[in-house]
Structure formats: structure tokens, C-alpha cells
Amino acid sequence: MAENWQHIPILAKEIAGLILQDKNGCYLDGTLGLGGHTKLFLSMLGKGAKILGLDKDQKAIEFAVNKVNDTRLTAKQASYLDAPQILAELNWPLLDGALFDLGLSSYQLDDASRGFSFSKSGPLDMRFDNTKGQTAADILNTFTADKLEYIFKNYGEERSSYKVALAICQARREKPFTNTFELANLIEKNIPRFGGTHPATKIFQALRIAVNHELQTVEEAPKMLEKIIKIGGRAAFLTFHSLEDRIIKYSFRDMAQTGKWRLVNKKLINPSFEEIKNNSRARSAGLRVIERVY
């Protein structure tokens, strides 16, 4: 049931320690999700603090607002790339800190109706904002084999990309794809199973990234920081795979070279063994933080 959805915030105390520098400051949670990070942050902040929480997913916003239940949170359904405009409309000053906890939340993965999971029967949707844009089914049923191969190879680092792309184009002539299990079954027939990982893992990841234009959006995020972070303020990015981390790592390096920004941590911060033991989703997480120096 939706009320029982859980998402354990990752590296939450570490992030709080690194970005909450002013107890009564203004902050952005660019990926509010179920509000796990925001709830902790507010418990550590003073009465004068405020947080703007954004998420593309309207359901997430509703649950977060209920769960956090705090007037210091202003929540809106929007992309984090809209933060400069929203902050201007709200008339907020430049921020003391911002968090971008990338990718999808475990509640989205667990909700079969969203189509993110190959182990649950559901519509092939995969949109964070399910009110607009192309679904995974639209992509599978209309993209050329070359385009599908590009997505699987570049967003999923899948070795059998071409084979799967061809198999999809052949299968959809008989019947267009509508359901997650149809795709998962086709992948199982075309990719040999190695170890414990399901062969559909990378293809599903790749499709989700394509549906939500995730990498293009992540690429734009560091460029926006100058418009929203004050001097001395910090921005934290929590990434979940090497494609995302590479973008943040090189963007931060370029920003630091301008002299306007400083890397707070030079090496990626990973969750402890203890945290991974309690929350398996934390195993692929990595944190990078940058500070505006002028």
C-alpha cells in the first residue's frame, strides 16, 4: 500500500553535516522523493530555516508533504532545473545548500503501475512525471533499431544491445509492447543470465534514463548552480551509477578550475558497510559536494 512506501535516505547524516551550514538558512531538496532527507534536515535546522522541495512526481510530493508535515517545507511538482525560476517567484534569497539525490526512489520501483520494475507486471510507462512525455512503450514501439541500440549501449552499458534492439523490432511487428513482463521475457530469451543479476536490469535502466532524459538533465544541473547557490553555499549530488557520476565529476572539476567553486571532497564518498547492510540500494551510491567560493 502506498501509505507503507518506504525510502531510506542514503548518506543522510553525512549530507546534512556537509551542507547544513546555517541553522536558519534556505535550502533546496531538488529531488524530494518521499522527503526522507528533508525530514532529517528539518529536524536539525532552526525555526527560521526553510526548504524548497521539488520532484517531477506529483504522488511523491503529496506523500512527502504528509510525511514531513512541517510548514518550513514548500513543495512543488517541478524539475530541479526549474529551481531558479521557482526561487525567484517565491522571492527567496540565494541558497545555503542544495541536494540532488538522483534517479528513482524505491517507492517508484515498488509501484507496479509505474512500470519501472521488470519483476512486477505493469504498463511500460517509467515516467517520473506521468502526466507528460513519451513512455517506455512509446520508445519501444516507435524508435528504430539503431536508436534503441544507442539507448541500451549508452545508458545501460549492455553488451547485447544490438541483439535486443533487433528482437524488439521483430516482436513489435506481431504485437506492440505494453507490459513490463513482455519486455522482460524477450530480454531473458536474448541475454544469457550471469550470476544473480537479472538480464533485464541494464535494459530497464537504459529505458528509464531515456524516458526521463536523465543524463541530459544531470548535465544541466551543475550549470544552474551559479543562479541558486550563494557564496559559501554548497551543493551535493548523490549518484547511483558511473554514467551519472562521470558527468558530476567532470562538471565539478571544470567548475573548480574557474576558481569560483571548491571541491569539498576530492574523492567520491560512499556509504559505509553498515549502511549498505541495512539498505542494499545504498551499495551503488556516491556523493560529491561543491562549494561556491565567489
Binding site for ligand SAM (CB under 6 A): 7, 9, 30-31, 33-37, 54-57, 60, 79-80, 101, 103-105, 128, 217
Shortest distance, CB of residue 126 to ligand SAM, whole angstroms? Answer: 11
- Residue whose C-alpha cell is 513512455: 135
Cα–Cα distance for residue pair 43/151, rounded to 1 Å: 41
| Nearer residue to ligand SAM within complex by CB, 79 or 117 | 79
Q: What is the DSSP string of the chain?
A: -GGG---PPTTHHHHHHHH---TT-EEEETT-TTSHHHHHHHHHS-TT-EEEEEES-HHHHHHHHHHH--TTEEEEES-GGGHHHHHHHHT---EEEEEEE-S--HHHHH-GGG---TTS--BS---SSTTSS--HHHHHHHS-HHHHHHHHHHHH--TTHHHHHHHHHHHHHHS---BHHHHHHHHHHHS---TTS-TTHHHHHHHHHHHTTHHHHHHHHHHHHHHHEEEEEEEEEEE-SHHHHHHHHHHHHHHHHTTSEEES-SSPB---HHHHHH-GGGGG-EEEEEEE--
Shortest distance, CB of residue 48 to ligand SAM, whole angstroms? Answer: 23
For residue 261, give the C-alpha cell.
567553486
| Nearer residue to ligand SAM within complex by CB, 43 or 142 | 43
| Nearer residue to ligand SAM within complex by CB, 55 or 149 | 55
Shortest distance, CB of residue 61 to ligand SAM, whole angstroms? Answer: 9
Shortest distance, CB of residue 196 to ligand SAM, whole angstroms? Answer: 23
Shortest distance, CB of residue 73 to ligand SAM, whole angstroms? Answer: 12
Shortest distance, CB of residue 46 to ligand SAM, whole angstroms? Answer: 21
Shortest distance, CB of residue 9 to ligand SAM, whole angstroms? Answer: 4
| Nearer residue to ligand SAM within complex by CB, 188 or 220 | 220
| Nearer residue to ligand SAM within complex by CB, 35 or 286 | 35
CA dihedral (68, 23, 260, 89) positive or negative? positive
Nearest residue to ligand SAM on Cβ basis: 33
| Nearer residue to ligand SAM within complex by CB, 169 or 269 | 269
| Nearer residue to ligand SAM within complex by CB, 50 or 187 | 50
